Structure 1
Amino acid sequence: MNLRLGLNILLVVGIVATVAGGAVLMFRDSGSSEGITITLDEPALAVTPAMYAEVPTTIKVYVSGEARHPGVYELPADARSDDALQAAGGPTSDAALETINLAKRLSDEDHIHIPGQADTEVMQIQDEASLPTASAGLPGQGGSRRLNINTATAEELTSLPNIGPSRAAAIVDYREREGPFDSVDDLTNVGGIGEKITDSIRDLVAVR
């Protein structure tokens, strides 16, 4: 009876082992042939008008003045003033190119004006007219009145260009020691005052 029980147990163990082995083989075959697929949802890409906008590759500028063919010209987006001038046929013989920056980078709708020599002469005359002249006189003296170096005080002398308190005092000391000045050129005899300083105030002083 014990022998039969032992045989039955061995038979059951063998059946269980056979079934388990078959299950393992089926799992391996299934995994190797099909595998596992994982799908992730991608976020939707937002489409904006800016994605379709094109970067401009050209610009339009207006060239006027002393160019051979003034007008509106289409140029590359990275063009400079000289490119616009050349597109307009180049400068005329009267163009004052030294007054403009030919290396300036341009933008769309820019206006490049090429002045002529006559334009620069007018501007120069206007600039010179705005500068003070000797005929305008000294502050507080009015008109074309010049400062008399034989009677002017040290304080009045300091109103002259390049004449500070020490030089003004030197002029007064020289005048008191040597007597009145005979001419404006006598100022060169004063210590600390040479020809350059004398020339710089010549039209502002007088000897009376």
Structure 2
Amino acid sequence: MANLVSRPGAMLVTGLVTAAIVVVAVILLVQDAGNAPIQVLPPDPQSATAGPATSNLPEDSEVRVYVSGAVRDPGVYTMVSGDRLADAVDAAGGAVDGAQLESVNLALRVVDQGHYHVPSLGETPLPQMNTLTSAEGAETGQADPSGLVSPVQDSPSGWPDRS
């Protein structure tokens, strides 16, 4: 090894080979090779779906719902598809004092022709009102058109019975 380094011709050859390797490596790294740059496109809102079963209504379509019970102005209200039950209660003037809001799922998305009842304190909640009952509603986050729900019932243990 000492003999190669001591000879001037060998050092020149070693230097040229090293320089050639570096030049080839730089050319390969810098060269574009004709590849197009990767382009990330945002999702198209028209083709995106929320899940396996989604509403066929356009996002801004109107729905009519009936809000009854312990609200200031019960009646039929025009809402926007995707609004929540809390929005429908607000449209009906809000809940009155003594409304039993804990038995109503205010996060429920309202659907066209839905009937949503806000019970008063002491009133036995109507069976199957204001929560989801259909499998489709569970997948889409929407109630079935009847607006029927299973209210929270107190069990003998004092804890809510959610069955």
TM-score class normalised by the smaller sequence:
0.3 to 0.5
TM-score by length of 2: 0.40
